[in-house]
Each structure stands twice: as C-alpha cells, then as structure tokens.
Chains A and B, each alone.
Chain A
Amino acid sequence: EILLTQSPGTLSLSPGERATLSCRASQSVSGHYLAWYQQKPGQPPRLLIYGATNRVTGIPDRFSGSESGADFTLTISRLEPEDFAVYYCQQYDTSPLTFGGGTKVDIK
C-alpha cells in the first residue's frame, strides 16, 4: 500500500498570500497518478488536479500541481477567501487507492 504524507498539517495564511502544500509518497507513483482535492466544511471533496499537474475544467489557474520524484506539490498562487479549506492528495497508481491525511489552509 502506498502511504501519502501531507505537510504541513495546518497552514495559516492571509488572503493574497501563496500557499505551498506537500504530499510525499512512500514509494514511486508511476504515471503521475496523483490527484488533489479540496474539501470545505459540510461538503464532499472536489477534484482540483489530476495526473499530478492537470487542472480540472473550471478550476482557477491560481491552482497548480507539480511533482519531483515521489514528492508532489499543490500551489495556490494567491489565496482567495474561498480557498480556505482542507486539501487532500490521492494516489491512483496501485490498489488500494490511498489518500493523504490532509492539509488545512486557514486564515491567519
């Protein structure tokens, strides 16, 4: 099973600031099979990024994904008020599919 470790657990930032979220896999995730989700209170997760770097249609371009080996990064270039939420990574390279523990981005 591929374990995903997200850091930091909480990121306290102000609107307009840049957010950098990390997701480290316990082993190589081949084929860039890594997705990012956003979850707000009382809502289901929403897919933002797939294939490590591809934005879902309709997701603002302030959200971007990158990878370097087993390390994946979600960057929000300038935080908008609606971006304060919890973010999860998920690998879909091998079964069982696994999620990271999440990073909460809250208002400083």
Chain B
Amino acid sequence: EVQLVQSGAEVKKPGESLKISCQCSGFIFTSYWIAWVRQTPGKGLEWMGIIYAGDSDARYSPSFQGQVTIAVDKSSTTAFLQWSSLKASDTAMYYCTTSYSRVNRFDHWGQGTLVTVSS
C-alpha cells in the first residue's frame, strides 16, 4: 500500500527557517517523482515543484523558484520541502504527492502539513 506520511503542524515566526518531511513507503521510491502542492483559501491548490527521487533532479514552478528548496533522502525514502526565511504569506497547508513523471497527474497524497507563520 502506497503511503506518504508527512511531518506535523508547525508554527513559526517570520524570518525563521523550516524543513517539513514526507516519508514514503509502499512503492519504489527512486522510480517516482515527488511533488509539493500548496493549498490556501485564497489561491486554492498550487503546484510548487517536483523532484525525481532517483537522482534529485528538481524543477520548480516560476512562482516558487528561489523561495523553497525540494530535496530527497533515498536512504530514508523521505522527501523534504524547505524554507530559509519564512513569510506570513507562507501560511498554508502543504501536501506531498507522487507522480509517474515530471509533468503528470498526482496519484497519491500525503495527509498534509499545516504551516502557520505569525509574529
């Protein structure tokens, strides 16, 4: 059974750094792409970027390029989404998802990680 288990909710202050995780199981991790999707009440669902777990080839949406970093650790079959300096506008629910290729649908989703950024 495919499972994507995300790390727990976070409350951070503007300017702080953050790394959230997505522990994957039930499939051949290194054969898949893992994407991150942001959801907010105002902008809905937004594709942030995607990474091939086999070689860490990462691509970003222009809207998120330079704002976040996506990475994987093959040894723990875990994907990560990282910020170096959070803004209040990063407050959102973040989902990791699996994809068969770089440009594709999203077959399996994590349960989501709620990130709240507030002073």
A and B associate:
yes
CB pair B107 A44 closer than 8 Å: no
CB pair B62 A96 closer than 8 Å: yes
A57 to chain B, nearest CB (A): 11
The tally of residues in A whose CB lies under 8 Å from a CB in B reads 23
Q: Mark B69-112, 1 if CB is under 8 A from A, else 0.
A: 00000000000000000000000000100000011111101111
Whether A98 is near chain B, meaning CB under 8 Å from some CB there, is yes
Whether A101 is near chain B, meaning CB under 8 Å from some CB there, is yes
User: Given A45-B109, A46-B109 in contact, is the A95-B103 Cβ separation under 8 Å?
Assistant: yes
User: Given A44-B95, A44-B112, A95-B59 in contact, is the A88-B44 Cβ separation under 8 Å?
Assistant: yes
CB pair A99 B110 closer than 8 Å: no
CB pair A99 B109 closer than 8 Å: no
**Chain B hits for A102, CB < 8 A:** 44-45
Please, how many angstroms separate the alpha-carbon atoms of A43 and B104 in the complex?
21
B46 to chain A, nearest CB (A): 7
Main secondary structure of the interface of B (DSSP, over half): loop
Which 6 pairs show the lowest CB-CB distances between chains A and B?
A44-B109, A99-B45, A35-B105, A97-B47, A96-B61, A50-B105
Whether A92 is near chain B, meaning CB under 8 Å from some CB there, is yes
**Chain B hits for A93, CB < 8 A:** 103
**Chain B hits for A94, CB < 8 A:** 103
User: Given A44-B110, A45-B109, A97-B47 in contact, is the A92-B103 Cβ separation under 8 Å?
Assistant: yes
**Chain A hits for B119, CB < 8 A:** none
Q: Mark B15-53, 1 if CB is under 8 A from A, else 0.
A: 000000000000000000001000000001111000000
